[in-house]
Structure 1
Amino acid sequence: MKSFAVIFCFALAVALAVADTCSKPEVTASAYVTEDATVLTMVAFTTQFTLKCSNGVKGISLYAEVEGKSLPAVKLSSDNKYQVSWTDDIKKARSGDYNVNLYDEESYSAIRKAIRNGEDPSSIKPLAVVVLNNPGVYTGPWINSELLAALLAALVSYAAFFAKSKLLV
């Protein structure tokens, strides 16, 4: 009877562990990136996504990795909506695609263990990847309006002085 209880407990533990794993994930995402940085020092990146698992798992904890930064994925609602947000310095933020790698708890702990042991964590496959596109950040005009006004005033003054000197001669 004891062996049956041990086998039953082991089978139950395996079933619970498998139940929390998302199989064949499908991600639908939308994104927002700060595009006007004329008065800002940081660029904000935000992506919201819905995770659908073929086995119907809901409410799993997710973690994200973007260009070496580890970030939590915040759960927004009970229907598997999540959000990942971060900021970056304007000078460091590049235009183009950012890959947001999503990991469940098991794979994220494997990444942390690999980093702790000095191993390469890139061999651990993400649960899903969300691509966030940054079209670029507008940092203002090439020439400030004050400088342009001063140059135009100097040009008009020069033209007026030159025309006046021709009239007097």
Structure 2
Amino acid sequence: MAATMNVVLLLSVVFPALVFGSDVCSSPDVQYEVYTTPETVLSSETIFIIQFKLNCKNGAKNLNLYAEINGKTIVATKSVESNTYQISISDEHKNLPAGSYPVRLFDEDGYAVLRKAQRSGEDTSNIKVLKTITLQHKGLWTGPYVQSEFVAAGVAVLVWYLAYAARGKLQTN
């Protein structure tokens, strides 16, 4: 009787995990678009937004994905569209300078291994990733060296001086 109870208990725990377990994406293909903050004049932080579509060879859909960028782990937000995700990160301008940033994508299993390695202080560079996206940030435009108001005031003073000098020459002749 106890043996059948153990089998029933084991099946009630294992069966749902087998039926509702997470899909695994084989041969992932990622098409992505990237937005980065172009200037510092209108923003207080640098922002990276990556929107991507994941296509799996085995047809796996609606996976829970995670990203690791610049040492930070982020949950990828699912879109209403099938297999479309978005990742966004923001930080101070000095912490996200111009350059190339690898964005490592993980499924649930890879993310669990990543978190375990981070907690134990192990190197995370050899953990299997679903896909790596390379984000190119061109840097930030800080604005013109000379403000347009200063240029306009300088031109106005120059025009006034030339007119005043020409008037002086006309009055002496």
Q: When the two structures are superposed, what TM-score results if normalisation uses the length of structure 2?
A: 0.75
1:76 aligns with 2:79: yes
Question: What is the one-letter code of the residue matched to 2:146?
Answer: I
Check 1:70–1:52 CA distance in 2 against 1; reply closer, same or farther (3 A cut): same
Question: Is the contact made by 1:59 and 1:78 (CA closer than 8 Å) also made in structure 2?
Answer: no
Between structures 1 and 2, the one with greater strand share: 1
Confirm whether residue 117 of structure 1 aligns to residue 113 of structure 2.
no
Give, as a single letter, the amino acid of the residue that structure 2 aligns with 1:122: S
Contact 1:66 1:99 in 2 (8 A): yes
Aligned residue type for 1:120: D
Q: Show structure 1 runs of 5+ residues with no match.
A: 165-169
Q: Deviations over 1:20-74 (max 9, x none)?
A: 1111111010111121321321122111101011111101100001110111100
SS in 1 for 2:79: strand
1:149-168 paired onto structure 2 within 5 Å: none
Change (3 A) 1:127 1:136: same
Instruction: Give % identity.
Output: 38
Q: Tell me if structure 1 keeps the 8 A contact 2:22–2:63.
A: no
5+ residue gaps in structure 2? Answer: 169-173
User: Aligned residue for 2:41?
Assistant: 38
1:167 aligned residue: none
- Taking the aligned partners of 2:138 and 2:89, their CA distance within structure 1 comes to 16
What are the superposed Cα offsets for residues 135-164 of structure 1, whole Å, 9 maximum, x if unpaired? 22111112334555677788899999xxx9
